[in-house]
Structure 1
Amino acid sequence: MTSTIPTKFLILSDTHNFAFGDTEKVNEPLRHPLPKADVLLHCGDLTSVGGVPAYKSLLRVLGNIDAELKLVIAGNRDLDLDKRYFGAHLDEEHEDPDGHKKAIEVMKGPLAKAAGVIYLEEGLNTFTLKNGAKFTIYTSPYTPEFCDWGFPYERNEDRFNPAQHVASDVKCIAKNPVPDFPGIDIMMTHGPPEDILDWTYNGTSVGCRALMRAVSRARPLLHCFGLIHEACGAKMVTWKDDKTKIGADAIENQTSMPNAYPGPSKLPVKFGKETLMVNASIVNLKYKPTNAPWLVELDLRRGTRGSLGGEESVSGSIAFHHSSGGVEDNLKE
């Protein structure tokens, strides 16, 4: 029996209310049916400015995608999913004071379950698929503060690294820090790390330095994100053998990778030595849905009962372990 299992990931980001399958308004790569995958990853900016109707529409769209497991995070545009932001900007004359609660209820309620969608917040989760493949994923919707959007942190704050790995000029605010290698297989954040698929139209690098430090420590197989529409693409980052190196100093080289969509990009990523970085923004700089998703095939480890998150999948269920809460739910297909 092989120790790894080929597993297909369909990766999207920054859909901004876009409904796949509208053949009159979209390019051929974005029409239904999207290719079948084992796992769907949506890296945030589900909507343009949030709102319960927009989330319901999104879930109907994602429900039409053929994937066993569908994992979704918020982005800076999904305003009412950010409790702190929503409370600070609430205008009770024009907004529902229960707007955040209602948005969360939609993203975690019956409609989400019917669509097969699991909404994840910041932290670690472990999943085992029906094919026996197992992976641990770190997710975070937070991005550096920009123009008063949701899920912000300041540039001089680090929410991804424990205190011993924070740069000297930065304040540690991490509640759910990224673990060192080999603690995770996949990272899904809304924003990019510094100098990796983060260049804006005017040539400015706007990625997060703290996130770059975190991914260099974790060395996952895959780190997917969005946010910077014009920087969509993929790079294979090769790490130096010296695991004490951190941030940009840990990179040996990086190579741009082509998108084989609608076919899979079959990439033999070397765990601990390479990380596939994917900016999966669907829309371009003008918010037009012109970019194809990414379909990436990775070799994942085979799951075993009782390791890295407790009970594994049985009888067609997906074992789901949320590390911050310490509670495991079996979510029936």
Structure 2
Amino acid sequence: MFKRFLNPFNLFLKDFSGMASDGSIIVHKNTKNPTKAWTELSLKQTVDKGMPLKPDTPITEDKLRVVCISDTHSKIEIHPEIVPDGDILIHAGDFTNVGLANEVKTFNDFLGTMKHPVKIVIAGNHDLTFDDDMVKNGRENLKKMFGVSEKGFEQLLVKYGVQNVKELMTNCVYLEDAGIDVCGVYIYGSPWQPRFCDWGFNLDRGLECLKKWNLIPENTDILVTHGPPIGHGDMCFDGFRAGCVELLSTIQKRVKPKYHIFGHIHEGYGVTTDGHTTYINASTCTLRYKPDHEPIVFDFPIPEGHVKDELLKITPQRLIRS
């Protein structure tokens, strides 16, 4: 798949379906202008409103209760009561404001109080210090733009006895371009989004984003990204779209997951469906950074041959694609 993607002829075929003749995803001609791209794409798209499960619905042994949150920005720790019980807690990034080690430590401690047997977390653009390239090559920008001084950053790492902030994530499964099998359900997580100011995990629209989406395995049942696809939960307050065109093409044409969980665009909170995939913008914070959006809940049937007891065998770990 990846080798076919690199074929320049296939890459820019003007096929509105989002695929080349050999089945690889192509870059849309209007990918740099997502609002314009959606105007065209929406003519052949289904976007229906989805209905999240009521949090007080009884949990059963034949289904995994999944609780989704995102964009908590160091607010959820003082409101843990808003998170309902479940089997899997998924956080789609932006659990901090700028990725300071003390913010990460506080969030990790919060996760330790949650009773969900499995907690799965990805980073977002606000979790700056999780972006390895930014930490390695963007220290001046971290200090100038976000007040994360090198001295202060290093002192906190020493205080907590770690070499990088990811080591502080001891109460969850941290996914970065990686996935995990949970009771026969494959969950894949990726922190990237189309370039958004000077924040973390930024990629240019089109080819650079598509390279990351090409890493998503086709057996993915639940996809977790920080940013939304075009057309689902991506409408900004000013009326413009922020979603990624190639992410939607990858979801609909190749991977076809049952669920796609994301955040990033706070005002896009809610559930939609295209008839196959259910899209969940789980942003907890509103546009004004108030944690007023309720976690979104759904049940996923446990595949034949698996049982819920397998949850207890999954330990906190950091899965990062090298």
Kept after mapping to 1: 8 A contact 2:186/2:222: yes
Equivalent position of 1:188 in the other structure: 224
Determine whether 1:218 maps to 2:255.
yes
TM-score by length of 2: 0.69
Shift in Å, 1:282: 0.5
* Other structure's SS at 1:37 match: coil
Equivalent position of 1:205 in the other structure: 241
Equivalent position of 1:234 in the other structure: 271
- Partners in 1 of 2:72 and 2:83 — Cα distance? 14
Equivalences for residues 67-78 of structure 1 within 5 A: 67-78=116-127
Equivalent position of 2:28 in the other structure: none
Equivalent position of 1:317 in the other structure: 313
* Other structure's SS at 2:117 match: strand
Kept after mapping to 2: 8 A contact 1:280/1:293: yes
- Partners in 1 of 2:273 and 2:213 — Cα distance? 29
Name the amino acid aligned to 1:47.
Answer: T
- Partners in 2 of 1:292 and 1:207 — Cα distance? 22
Kept after mapping to 2: 8 A contact 1:124/1:324: no
Kept after mapping to 2: 8 A contact 1:159/1:177: no
Equivalent position of 2:69 in the other structure: 12
Alignment equivalent of 2:187, drawn from 137, 145, 169: 137
Alignment equivalent of 1:299, drawn from 298, 301, 309: 301
Kept after mapping to 2: 8 A contact 1:5/1:302: no
Determine whether 1:154 maps to 2:209.
no
Q: Over the residues paired in the alignment, what is the CA RMSD in angstroms?
A: 2.9
Equivalent position of 1:40 in the other structure: 89
- Partners in 1 of 2:213 and 2:293 — Cα distance? 34
Shift in Å, 1:147: 0.7
- Partners in 1 of 2:248 and 2:208 — Cα distance? 11
- Partners in 2 of 1:227 and 1:83 — Cα distance? 20
Q: Deviation digits for residues 100-137 of structure 1, max 9, x if unmatched?
A: 94212212xxxx2xx3x111111232223xxxxx2111
Kept after mapping to 2: 8 A contact 1:33/1:65: no
- Partners in 2 of 1:290 and 1:204 — Cα distance? 23
Kept after mapping to 2: 8 A contact 1:46/1:58: yes
Instruction: Specify whether residues 301 and 18 from structure 1 end up closer, same or farther in structure 2 by C-alpha distance, changes over 3 A only.
Output: same
- Partners in 2 of 1:195 and 1:102 — Cα distance? 36
- Partners in 2 of 1:316 and 1:206 — Cα distance? 38
Determine whether 1:287 maps to 2:283.
no
Kept after mapping to 1: 8 A contact 2:178/2:320: yes
Equivalent position of 1:50 in the other structure: 99
Identity of aligned residues (%): 31
Determine whether 1:120 maps to 2:175.
yes
Shift in Å, 1:189: 0.3
Equivalent position of 1:265 in the other structure: none
- Return the structure number with greater strand share: 1
- Partners in 2 of 1:105 and 1:321 — Cα distance? 8
Kept after mapping to 1: 8 A contact 2:257/2:277: yes
Kept after mapping to 2: 8 A contact 1:126/1:321: no
Paired residue total: 247
* Other structure's SS at 2:288 match: coil
- Partners in 1 of 2:95 and 2:222 — Cα distance? 20
Instruction: Specify whether residues 144 and 61 from structure 1 end up closer, same or farther in structure 2 by C-alpha distance, changes over 3 A only.
Output: same
- Partners in 2 of 1:87 and 1:300 — Cα distance? 41
Instruction: Specify whether residues 314 and 200 from structure 1 end up closer, same or farther in structure 2 by C-alpha distance, changes over 3 A only.
Output: closer
Shift in Å, 1:220: 1.0
- Partners in 1 of 2:236 and 2:295 — Cα distance? 20
- Partners in 1 of 2:319 and 2:305 — Cα distance? 17
- Partners in 1 of 2:235 and 2:82 — Cα distance? 31
Name the amino acid aligned to 1:215.
Answer: I
Kept after mapping to 2: 8 A contact 1:20/1:32: no
Kept after mapping to 1: 8 A contact 2:178/2:190: yes
Shift in Å, 1:236: 2.0
Equivalences for residues 248-263 of structure 1 within 5 A: none
TM-score by length of 1: 0.67
Name the amino acid aligned to 1:123.
Answer: A
Kept after mapping to 2: 8 A contact 1:282/1:289: yes
- Partners in 1 of 2:225 and 2:100 — Cα distance? 21
Shift in Å, 1:179: 2.9
Shift in Å, 1:158: 4.1
Kept after mapping to 2: 8 A contact 1:197/1:279: yes
Shift in Å, 1:14: 0.1
Instruction: Specify whether residues 188 and 303 from structure 1 end up closer, same or farther in structure 2 by C-alpha distance, changes over 3 A only.
Output: farther
